[in-house]
Amino acid sequence: MIDPEEASAQAEDGFRRMWAELLPVGRHGGSGGYRRHAWTAADAECRAWFEEQARTRGLAYEVDGNGNQWAWSGDPAAGGAVVTGSHLDSVPDGGAFDGPLGVVSAFAALDLLREHDATGSRPLGIVNFGDEEGARFGVACVGSRLMTGVLDPGRARALTDDGGVTLATAVERAGRDPSALGRDEERLSRIAAFVELHVEQGRNLGDAPIGVASAIWPHGRWRFDFRGQANHAGTTRMEDRRDPMPAFAAAVLDAQERARRAGALATFGKVAVEPNGTNAIASRVTAWLDSRAADPGVLDALVAEITRASGAEVTRESYTPVVDFDGPLRDRLAGLLGGAPVLPTGAGHDAGILASAIPTAMLFVRNPTGVSHSPEEHAERADCLAGVAALARVLEDLLADPVREGPARR
Ligand SMILES: [Zn+2]
């Protein structure tokens, strides 16, 4: 059995090497943050790194029709596979850990299993899901949503980036066939369990370096359109103005106050102003609300109240229902890790998408400042290594006796 303390020390050199290789890829010199957007040159470099990791370990390497990369120990066609992994793309000026920590830890955990002769007879897969952050085309978890059929391939192909390039074109330029997008029944049916390790992106772990996810809060994005009339900032009397900016500002403050009272989260993090001139009263302010809560009813009520109070025209652009991770698997992982804390998260993940099709679990690695989606995102090396050891322990156990056999649950 893999001993966590011993395994942490064993994993250190391999982890350090892989981390150093990925660290400069897609890093912006000015901000220090990462710009690894889907199907860009930086993304291609990350993907080349993944393929190289697979090849140097003698793993079977493949890319599925949805652009997700897979590295296999054992024959995936045998079925009953245990899979781990995460994503390598980033938000604009994201941190180094969100995504890559799960992929690097997956390879490091496989190395540990091999050292301990504990890979078993069952296939073990490592995956890099494509376009998790949705930074370029506006929809998150595209690779896993396509794989599970949650996202319609026709809709995916038509998604467009800020430069007017469709996802279909971007995929094609990256040398892939956009007509191959869609639900991947065969691959899903081969997987018995999926575990994603991820930096926590909050400060709820406290004294514990590792935790297990219980649920992902329901969350969504709403577009608020505040309309007014463009006019001269120097000649229009204050009482004659139809300025949408004050209504927008009031909505931001109102959303904060209501979310605080409801124990929920509400964020206006993106705003577009027309005509966006210093000396012009705005004709229109468009702002996007991201809101999340533990309870779907609380979230619905909160967004309805913010909408009503704002006076804006509001369009729901996306909504992800609550995800409860597989109960027995979650409890089993917490037990294996010596009673690791079990906690929910407000962040979306590929694991949340896969949970609808496959028994799925998540491990969180402590994020001491709680800062994420920022160049300042950080996790201590010792905690990362504890994460690798925990993941190896979990995989060892699942490989010996997975959650279930046979075809995937629907
Ligand atoms: Zn992530």
Weakest mean pLDDT among 119-123, 251-255, 309-313: 119-123
Q: How far is the CA of 99 from the centre of ligand 1 (A)?
A: 4
Is 128 flagged in the annotation as binding? no
* Res 120: pLDDT: 86
Q: How far is the CA of 138 from the centre of ligand 1 (A)?
A: 15
Residue 408 has pLDDT above 50, yes or no: no
Tokens linked to 218: 């329901």
Q: How far is the CA of 133 from the centre of ligand 1 (A)?
A: 7
Is 221 flagged in the annotation as binding? yes
* Res 403: pLDDT: 62
Question: Do 217 and 296 meet the contact criterion of CB atoms below 8 Å apart?
Answer: no
Q: How far is the CA of 72 from the centre of ligand 1 (A)?
A: 22
Is 279 flagged in the annotation as binding? yes
* Res 138: pLDDT: 86
Is 98 flagged in the annotation as binding? yes
How many Å apart are CA 131 and CA 109, to the nearest integer? 24
Is 219 flagged in the annotation as binding? no
How many Å apart are CA 247 and CA 291, to the nearest integer? 19
How many Å apart are CA 39 and CA 61, to the nearest integer? 19
How many Å apart are CA 406 and CA 162, to the nearest integer? 43
Q: How far is the CA of 236 from the centre of ligand 1 (A)?
A: 47
Q: How far is the CA of 378 from the centre of ligand 1 (A)?
A: 13
Helix ranges, 311-380 (H):
327-336, 350-354
pLDDT per residue over 92-132, tens digit each?
A: 999 999 999 999 999 999 999 999 999 988 999 999 999 99
Coarse DSSP helix, strand, coil percentages of the chain, rounded to the nearest 5 percent: 35, 25, 40
Residue 313: HSE in the Cβ half-sphere, 13 Å Cα cutoff: 7
Question: Strand (E) positions, 8-166?
Answer: 60-63, 69-73, 81-87, 124-129
Q: H or E element: which one contains 215?
A: strand 210-216
Q: How far is the CA of 1 from the centre of ligand 1 (A)?
A: 30
Percentage of residues in the chain having pLDDT higher than 90: 92
**Torsion angles phi and psi, residue 160, rounded to 5:** -130, 140
Q: How far is the CA of 233 from the centre of ligand 1 (A)?
A: 43
Is 290 flagged in the annotation as binding? no
Q: How far is the CA of 298 from the centre of ligand 1 (A)?
A: 25
* Res 274: pLDDT: 97
Percentage of residues in the chain having pLDDT higher than 70: 98
Q: How far is the CA of 194 from the centre of ligand 1 (A)?
A: 15
Please tell me which residue, 309 or 5, carries the higher pLDDT value: 309
Q: How far is the CA of 95 from the centre of ligand 1 (A)?
A: 10
Question: Do 52 and 61 meet the contact criterion of CB atoms below 8 Å apart?
Answer: no
Is 373 flagged in the annotation as binding? yes
Residue 23: HSE in the Cβ half-sphere, 13 Å Cα cutoff: 8
Kindly give the interhelix angle for 41-56 and 4-22, rounded to the nearest 10 degrees: 140
Q: How far is the CA of 287 from the centre of ligand 1 (A)?
A: 24
Residue 300 has pLDDT above 50, yes or no: yes
Q: How far is the CA of 348 from the centre of ligand 1 (A)?
A: 8
pLDDT per residue over 341-364, tens digit each?
A: 999 999 999 999 999 999 999 999
Is 133 flagged in the annotation as binding? yes
- Helix, strand or coil, per DSSP, at residue 408: coil
Query: Mean per-residue pLDDT for 193-216?
Result: 95
Q: How far is the CA of 198 from the centre of ligand 1 (A)?
A: 7
Question: Do 167 and 156 meet the contact criterion of CB atoms below 8 Å apart?
Answer: yes
Question: Do 198 and 364 meet the contact criterion of CB atoms below 8 Å apart?
Answer: yes
Alpha carbon distances (Å) from 241 to 115, 237, 248, 286, 312:
72, 7, 15, 18, 17
